[in-house]
Amino acid sequence: MEGSTEGTEPDSHSINLQPLTPQHTGGDASTLMSPTQTHYDGASDVDGTTMRSHSITRPKLDEDGAHSGSGGKGGDGEAADEPRPPVDLAQDEGIDPGVFPIKPYRLASLVDPKSLDLLREFGGITGLLRALGTHRKRGLSAKALGKAVDASNHASFAAPADKDGRPGVGTEPGAGAGASQLHDRLSEGSAGEVPKLVVTGPGGEDGGGSPIEEPVDDDGEDGPTYQADLHERRRVYGENTLPTRKTKSLLQLMWLALKDKVLVLLSIAAVVSLALGFFQDFGTPRPEGEPPVDWVEGVAIMVAILIVVMVGSINDWQKERQFQTLNEKKEERGVKVIRDGVEMIIDIKEVVVGDVALVEPGEIVPCDGIFISGHNVKCDESNTTGESDAIKKLSYEDCVRGEGAEGGGLKHTDCFMISGSKVLEGYGSYVVIAVGTRSFNGRIMMALRGDAESTPLQIKLNNLAELIATLGSAAGLILFTALMIRFFVQLGTHNPNRTPSQWGLAFVQILIISVTLVVVAVPEGLPLAVTLALAFATKRMTKENLLVRTLGSCETMANASVICTDKTGTLTQNVMTVVAGSVGIHCKFVHRLEENMARTNADEEPGVRPSGAQKHAQDFSIDQEQLNSTLSPAIQDLFNKAIAINSTAFEDVDPETEQKVFVGSKTETALLKFAKENGWADYKETRESADIVQMIPFSSERKAMGVVVRLPGGRARIYLKGASEILTKNCTRHIVVERGSADNDVQTRELDELARDNISRTIIFYANQTLRTIAVCYRDFESWPPPGVQTDSEDEVPYGDLARDLTLIAITGIEDPLRPGVRDAVADCHKAGVTVKMCTGDNVLTARSIALQCGIYTAGGIIMEGPIFRQLERQDLLDVVPRLQVLARSSPEDKKLLVETLRSLGEIVGVTGDGTNDGPALKTADVGFSMGIAGTEVAKEASDIILMDDNFASIVKAIMWGRCVNDAVRKFLQFQISANITAVLITFISAVASTEEESVLSAVQLLWINIIMDTFAALALATDPATPQLLDRQPDKKTAPLFSVDMYKQIIGQSAYQTAITLIFHFLGARILGQHHSDDSATQKHNDAIVQTLVFNIFVLAQIFNSVNSRRLDNHLNIFEGITKNYYFMGITLIEVAVQILIVFVGGAAFQVTRIGGREWGIAVALGFVALPIGALVRCIPNGPVERLFIKLRIMPNPEVLPTTSPEADWNSAIKLVRDNLSTFSHVRGGRMRASSYVGKSRNANLAPESRVALPSIMTMVPTLIASSIGAGWAPQSPSGLSNPAQFDPSKSSAALWEGKIQIHPDTKPDDPIMQRWGPIARMT
């Protein structure tokens, strides 16, 4: 019996599991037939009754229309447009095929494009099998296998027997000879149980394939190809190892990290610093008491580089391994093959070309192949080729016969098995022709290889590194020049008097101070800050169900301005659910009523009835959770029985999630889940307690299914469910629902005109929301069979005699509901300035309904269908895409076109995808999101971030964390650049001012400030957690500068303040502290040390307070917001203060400091603290005037300047025609001249401004140009770019293209440019 009850529309995906009745395995539990179970066994014969899910007859050839797959004549459907690598037959040249007559790439080209003609050249399936040395039924021979085959060797690939009670799963011995029989033989004692499902094998007496006219020697092993062993097959045709990207070793990742421009700059600085440090320490005489510590700075920079490289590369390495583990888990699966006549499960990696593999419902085809024979096999190739219709698989002979039939071929039918496609239904066998990288799936995987582009932040930071290197080098050069001038003056005047070696040392000191300046300018902590921020964020994101594969994608997501998302499974749950309904005719229930008030029609819409009175005043709305308190126990029992007994779906444990799920058609599982959610009696107990007399299976003609049960006293009752518009017409009564009724009997009432109006209004209301409406009815009979009915048996009463005078129980509205939180997630995206666009293969009505529910379709938005979208001209595309909100019936190619167009408009695009065919779009996007649960390996390989829970709300978290990373880097930059500018200025000024060429801060003091402080600050500022407030601002454009106006203000304000106080105390410290010049050198040295220590202290404490000030990037004054949640920041700040105190008290000689008193500490802390009020004052300065000043000074780019030319823009078709003709002429004439590089350059060069033709000269040409244009058929275009999308092709009328194919949101204002431009064409909905 067929178990599909789809109501208003068939469901092609509900047939994975046939039949939908419990299969007993000797135990009590009902379990589902395993999708990896062998139901297809030609070699066995099973005792007991054999039950088949279909009447197994020879498949009839479809008579309507031609199908592409029956040959090379358009066999790929949409696949022809797929951007995948073609089979390069030249690759065959270097391959020695040995005994095989067909080379691997020529063999692989059979399926891409699908070519029946090429298969015919090979001698059809018989010739192919002979060429590959394999047999139709027995597969590879024992000789080819090289040993006696024992299927028990492969038992490890089947599920363990103790974990799965399903027939055929496990390692129990089969019933047939040897191990070919995977089912348990029915024992005599189990004859009363439901027998197991067995479909007779390929080529069997009723296996569904056509009888195969085999040549006499087909089963002989008389050719060299039959002797070729597995090793030889792997050598020629390759191994079936799914191509995993070669992962980089830790050393390779470290080497890549070292290539970063900032790190290259740092490495040079480290080497120079180390060399000069060694020279200073060991190549020159040192004053007494000074330890040789100048080399420490070079070493410290190297340590900083090492930390950055290690943190970044180890993080990348861990993520790569995590991803590999995820993929390996998915790849561990068995493939069922026939070898030497024995059916066995082998590891997917062991499959070779020539193997005869078996297919079953739900299986992903592992290799390319040619279908041999089978029963009713249909494949979903949408994941691979984009073909949305199920493709039926027939044998080569049937395809050839169909090709010659009337109509020119078979529709959606072929004999080619494509790797990566999914088997929807049926059982069969095919011969493997391509594995691994030569298979269809493998080539797509290989094409996705490629180096990732630099992210916007990486590009900006690289530019910053170059700028800093340039400016630092310039500052160093200026200082060197200034000091050298003084050096030569001193040398010329012999003042001071020095020996030649002292002059030499003085020159080296000048060199050292100049290089130190360059080293100081480089922000050592910057790479570490970026790496730490990314590492911290990705770790937190993993906890949020986001597996980040490429670290850079995390910060790219920060400024994503558009997200193109799938519908099914991402926005919706991909589980059909009862979301609304009407019990009786007045009680309207809604799932989550508060959130879905639009789902109920209990309240009359305003303006419908001018009298003001409600037409259906008795209607009332309740939440689904209130059903039990509203319905009487009798109605609950009736409703539950009508659902549970009249159903073939059942509950089973999902092997992946290990949770109980309902299995069966989507409509039935939705109703059973509804009953379970309401806490009604268990479906199984209810079903088993019923005495079933007759079952009426679902059929698409009657659009209903039913079951008759015997009641006490000889009575009977039929429960029916099906399409509401059909069943309700057969109803004459309805049940009466009164709030809180405790009746033990079900009250019914006759349907009058008002009630019928209510029913039809409810059905239309639900249909408008694209809900699938199912009516549930019943009818009682006083006796069975009903009197007056002519029937041979009591279980064969005609449906027409039963399905009348029905009583309506309820009408339910079923749909794939939104995931919880999606509506809020879309609202958060809009708040964050991110546009959400839905791309779905579903029809436009369902897409619109979901888009409205989750808030994607808003005023000013456009809905369009894929076939129309891809026909738009470039200019129309650029006009439509910014406003396009829903793209329905879209192919992967449409999605890729949408992404490319958005990127050309300067948007940063995130894309979600789950299928193999989404690979190109995922790769094209700035950030690709793949689905962790539903996604294919190809999609995951092409993506940057994997949504482990397939939930759209996780994308919002990715945006939030991305912004957190960007902010962390900018906070650090704001802090770091202030410190660096101050350090450079005070080093420069003090060195020039000092006769000894000494700077304010010693090398070791600079080490503490430059390295430790930078590293600590990086850690402190990079670890602020993400907060929802990050979504309260618009994303930055790709062209947005790295430094905002607020950051520039803080950098300038803080560095000016720090430079001023440091220099004041450096030059005037003694006077401020009241110290007088002493003749005693020891006293003077001590006084100088106190001033030196105070200056060092002030500088360090100013940095510490500035790090607190840098926690905010905007104009808000509360810099302490969220500080208590960042333990890293609080801890590191305390450590910095503690270490600074320690240095002053203990550092002594090494840091060239001395202990200072309370007064000096007070001054240092007070001046450091002033950084906070200065930060607040700077924030109060308005941004407008400052920004205008910066733009004028060219510090910031002008955001209002837009590109003035577009390469795509053409004046008219006449000029286009002339240009094309001239181009053709230039290619025909003068080949040698044309080959000259100078000619190429001169053609492509822009005209110099002075050589451009003056405007009056051009104007004299206008009449001629216009006349020639009109002669060529040009006419002025109307403002609407879509007034004639077909241009000058009369065969494509604009009406045919556009009628109803574009929709504009009804709330769009009439003066909106989109309405003025598209309004006349679009259909308002």
Catalytic residues: 566
**Can you tell me the distance from the alpha carbon of 591 to that of 597, in angstroms, rounded to the nearest whole number?**
10
**Can you tell me the distance from the alpha carbon of 739 to that of 1162, in angstroms, rounded to the nearest whole number?**
77
Q: Which amino acid is at 587?
A: C
| Measured CA distances, 263 to 255, 304, 314, 988, 1160 (Å) | 11, 10, 17, 24, 38
Q: Is the distance from CB of 361 to CB of 372 less than 8 angstroms?
A: no
Distance of CA 1062 to the CA centre of its chain: 52
Both tokens of residue 773? 């409406």
* Buried/exposed 78-99: b ≥16 CB within 10 Å, e otherwise: bbeebebeebeeeebeeeeeee
3-state secondary structure of 1045: helix
Both tokens of residue 950? 């397939």
**Can you tell me the distance from the alpha carbon of 1297 to that of 1300, in angstroms, rounded to the nearest whole number?**
9
**Can you tell me the distance from the alpha carbon of 265 to that of 515, in angstroms, rounded to the nearest whole number?**
13
Helix (H) / strand (E) element for 888: namely strand 884-888
| In 199-294, alpha helices (H) | 224-227, 230-237, 250-258, 261-282
Q: Which residues contact 752 (CB under 8 A, 6 or more apart)?
A: none
3-state secondary structure of 434: strand
Helix (H) / strand (E) element for 431: namely strand 422-434
Q: Is the distance from CB of 542 to CB of 295 less than 8 angstroms?
A: no
DSSP 61: P
3-state secondary structure of 589: strand
Where residue 1033 falls (left for φ over 0; alpha for ψ -120 to 50; beta otherwise) is beta
**Can you tell me the distance from the alpha carbon of 142 to that of 1027, in angstroms, rounded to the nearest whole number?**
65
3-state secondary structure of 34: coil
For tokens 């060195």, the residue is: 991
Q: How many CB atoms lie within 10 A of CB 812?
A: 28
DSSP 1147: I
Q: Is the distance from CB of 14 to CB of 390 less than 8 angstroms?
A: no
Q: Is the distance from CB of 372 to CB of 356 less than 8 angstroms?
A: yes
For tokens 């053609």, the residue is: 1243
| In 1110-1234, alpha helices (H) | 1127-1142, 1148-1151, 1158-1169, 1171-1180, 1183-1192, 1213-1228, 1231-1234
**Can you tell me the distance from the alpha carbon of 1204 to that of 30, in angstroms, rounded to the nearest whole number?**
71
3-state secondary structure of 307: helix
Helix (H) / strand (E) element for 892: namely helix 892-904
Largest CA distance in the chain: 136
**Can you tell me the distance from the alpha carbon of 212 to that of 373, in angstroms, rounded to the nearest whole number?**
9
Q: Is the distance from CB of 633 to CB of 742 less than 8 angstroms?
A: yes
Q: Is the distance from CB of 104 to CB of 442 less than 8 angstroms?
A: no
Q: For the sheet containing 909-913, what is the strand order? A: 546-548, 945-947, 927-931, 909-913, 562-565, 835-839, 884-888, 862-865, 1302-1304, 1323-1324
Q: Is the distance from CB of 157 to CB of 345 less than 8 angstroms?
A: yes
Please name every residue paired with 431 in a beta bridge, in sequence order, or none if there are none: 356, 370
